[in-house]
Chain A
Amino acid sequence: MTEPLLRAAGLTKRYGQVHALQGADFSANPGEVVALIGDNGAGKSTLVKVLCGAIQPDGGQISLDGQVVHFANPFEAQRHGIETVYQDLSLAPDLDAAANLHLGREVFRGGVLRPFHVLDRAAMRSSARSAFAELGVDLQDIDVPVASLSGGQRQSVAVARAVAYASKVIFMDEPTAALGVVQRGRVLDTIRRVRDRGVSVVLISHNMPEVLAVSDRVEVLRLGRRVARYVTAQTSVEELVGAMTGALAGEAAA
């Protein structure tokens, strides 16, 4: 097996008396969708926060492309090509899709206007159009505030925003939790397209049928440790639930 793109080994994190991570391992390969599952309190959110730089682990090691890395904050992770799509939609609802896509990475007009940071709207709009087209995101009107888009469209904009800057790994925390059936299908399509570009997608989800539908591999966390790994094509909902709840013990090879 080749070296994983992102690998974590023996991560620990304590909050007072609570041991959120107790030597957790994790790995993600390029161009795959890894589902990270586990019961409430298994440490999924903590693990993701550590991996994307939002919190610092007490112990353990993270390596990216075989190099040991330390992320002091999310921006360092972003500089390494790691982006996160948050559950609660990190978009500014009053701005349009192109503005949201470029938030914090605006494109400016050149020439004498350059020192004033005058926005180049046309350039941002056209790069947004091509970013959405590439992901198959269907937005008829990219000039309206994202608040007036449907939930699925908004989530797609959030995903597109992460994809536009993630060259290596994207974490998605329950990206379809608030969506209807059709919209959910669209976001899953988008996830597959992202994977096909060679980016590693880490999907955190409670929805087992969704996990089976979209992921290539599954890693199971329980009580702050990785307890099982499966190749999605060779597993079942029963097996996953068994591993999550501890009914099946031992780390299966994958």
Chain B
Amino acid sequence: MTSTKTAPVDGPATQEPTGTPLARRLLAANSAWTFAILVALVAFFAIASPPGTFLSQYNITQIATNAAIYLVLGVGMTYVIITGGIDLSNGSVLILSGVLAAEFMVHNGGYKAGWSVILVGIVISVVTGTAWGSIQGVLVAKAKVPPFIVTLGGLGAALGLAQIITTGNDVAGGAPNTLVETLGLGELFGTVPWLVVLAVAVTVAFGLVLAQTRFGRYTYAVGSNAEAVRRSGIRVDRHLVKVYALAGLMAGIAGVMSLAFFHTTTIAGHSYDNLNVITAVVMGGTSLFGGRGTVVGTVIGVFIPAVLNSGLVILGVQTYWQSVAVGAVLIAAVYVDQIRRRSRERG
């Protein structure tokens, strides 16, 4: 122990940054500046819009409701991207899960179906999504097909199956009134939509799993250096299957939410879910190269487009500007991630 105290400085890493660990960690987080952008957007629209519009309870509820499905999909996507993968299939898996659930419910009471039928429908949707995700996970982890290709194939196949089952038409009567009036349009205490309650519950639960449990730790480790994880005796392939299954589970849950909210299966309505969700996750500071990211960041990333959309509508500006702004923020987010990586990875 003689050399420890007088040891010479070893490299730039030993130059201690100032500030408390918490403050440093927040500043270092990739999501810090996207959070600043979100706060700035909210502040701008709150000031620029007529009083009692943008920050009204109604509008906030609308923004949250519109974000709810993307939030659930985003949680699954966050896990997948942290492992260094990607999931292009989530929109199609959402549709397929919803279609299978709707097909069951339409043949068991349709609009008038009760809770027992609805519960079976929910189970069908969730199981379909999870099973589809597991198959994709096996192809990624065991067959070693790149995730981009597996989920691109899954994107086409799941949508195709949904169209075959329905002959391309949305399932009329597949969303029972009871489901629509509760999960779709109902509100907890008459204020918070059930859709939002569900999305928040899922987000908090899996955000905690990612940040606090061994499952989350392995997710980061696999994306960071899969070989090191393998050498530590951890079954990397098994973990990857679970992560893709989780993404499928989220698509299955989102399938039920979509069914309840839109009253029908919306087969043609989810073509861009994958890209929108990837955009949100990456804007939230999750690295496309794996190993880094947070669910909190994804929440921020989901709300930036939602807030922009709502604010631009209220201001009477063309909402197409939202796409332009989000595109710019996305590219900036990845640019910042690249710079961080380069400055950090030295010998």
| Contact present for A153 and B232 (CB under 8 Å) | no
Q: Which of A58-114 contact B (CB under 8 A)?
A: 74-75, 78, 86, 89-95, 99, 103-106, 108
Given contacts A78-B233, A90-B228, A147-B344, is CB(A118)–CB(B212) below 8 Å?
A: yes
B132 to chain A, nearest CB (A): 26
Asked if A248 CB lies within 8 Å of chain B CBs, one says no
Residue in A closest to B15 when the chains form the complex, CB atoms: A140
A89 to B290, CA, bound (A): 18
A145 to B209, CA, bound (A): 20
CB contacts (< 8 Å) of A105 on chain B: these are 232
Residue in A closest to B293 when the chains form the complex, CB atoms: A94
CB contacts (< 8 Å) of A86 on chain B: these are 231
A interface with B by C-beta (< 8 Å): 74-75, 78, 86, 89-95, 99, 103-106, 108, 116-119, 133, 136, 138, 140-141, 143-145, 147-153, 178, 182-183, 186, 189
B interface with A by C-beta (< 8 Å): 1, 3-4, 7-8, 10-14, 16, 21, 25, 209, 212-215, 217, 220-221, 223-225, 227-229, 231-234, 290-292, 344-345, 347
| Contact present for B233 and A95 (CB under 8 Å) | no
Picked from B3, B212, B228, the residue with its CB within 8 Å of the CB of A119 is B212
| Contact present for A150 and B214 (CB under 8 Å) | no
CB contacts (< 8 Å) of B1 on chain A: these are 133, 136
Picked from B4, B13, B223, B228, the residue with its CB within 8 Å of the CB of A103 is B228
21 contacts between A and B (CB under 8 A): A89-B228, A92-B225, A92-B228, A94-B221, A94-B291, A95-B220, A99-B217, A103-B228, A104-B232, A104-B234, A119-B213, A119-B217, A143-B21, A144-B13, A145-B344, A147-B344, A148-B13, A150-B10, A152-B11, A183-B10, A189-B3
| Contact present for B213 and A117 (CB under 8 Å) | yes
| Contact present for B10 and A91 (CB under 8 Å) | no
| Contact present for A116 and B213 (CB under 8 Å) | yes
| Contact present for A150 and B14 (CB under 8 Å) | yes
A116 to chain B, nearest CB (A): 6
| Contact present for A94 and B223 (CB under 8 Å) | yes
Taking each of B221, B223, B229, B345, which has the highest tally of chain A beta carbons within 10 Å of its own beta carbon?
A: B221
Given contacts A75-B233, A95-B220, A103-B228, is CB(A136)–CB(B4) below 8 Å?
A: yes
CB contacts (< 8 Å) of A182 on chain B: these are 8, 10
Picked from B12, B223, B233, B344, the residue with its CB within 8 Å of the CB of A104 is B233
A117 to B8, CA, bound (A): 40
Sample of 6 more A-B contacts, CB < 8 Å, known A99-B221, A119-B217:
A91-B225, A93-B345, A103-B217, A136-B1, A149-B13, A153-B13
B301 to chain A, nearest CB (A): 19
A115 to B228, CA, bound (A): 26
CB contacts (< 8 Å) of B213 on chain A: these are 116-119
Taking each of A89, A92, A99, A103, which has the highest tally of chain B beta carbons within 10 Å of its own beta carbon?
A: A92
A142 to B205, CA, bound (A): 28
| Contact present for A94 and B4 (CB under 8 Å) | no
A182 to B3, CA, bound (A): 12
A118 to B215, CA, bound (A): 9
B137 to chain A, nearest CB (A): 20
A93 to B340, CA, bound (A): 13
Nearest first, the 10 A-B pairs at minimum CB distance are A150-B11, A104-B232, A94-B291, A92-B224, A94-B224, A117-B214, A90-B228, A92-B221, A92-B225, A103-B232
CB contacts (< 8 Å) of B16 on chain A: these are 140-141
Residue in A closest to B287 when the chains form the complex, CB atoms: A94
| Contact present for A151 and B224 (CB under 8 Å) | no
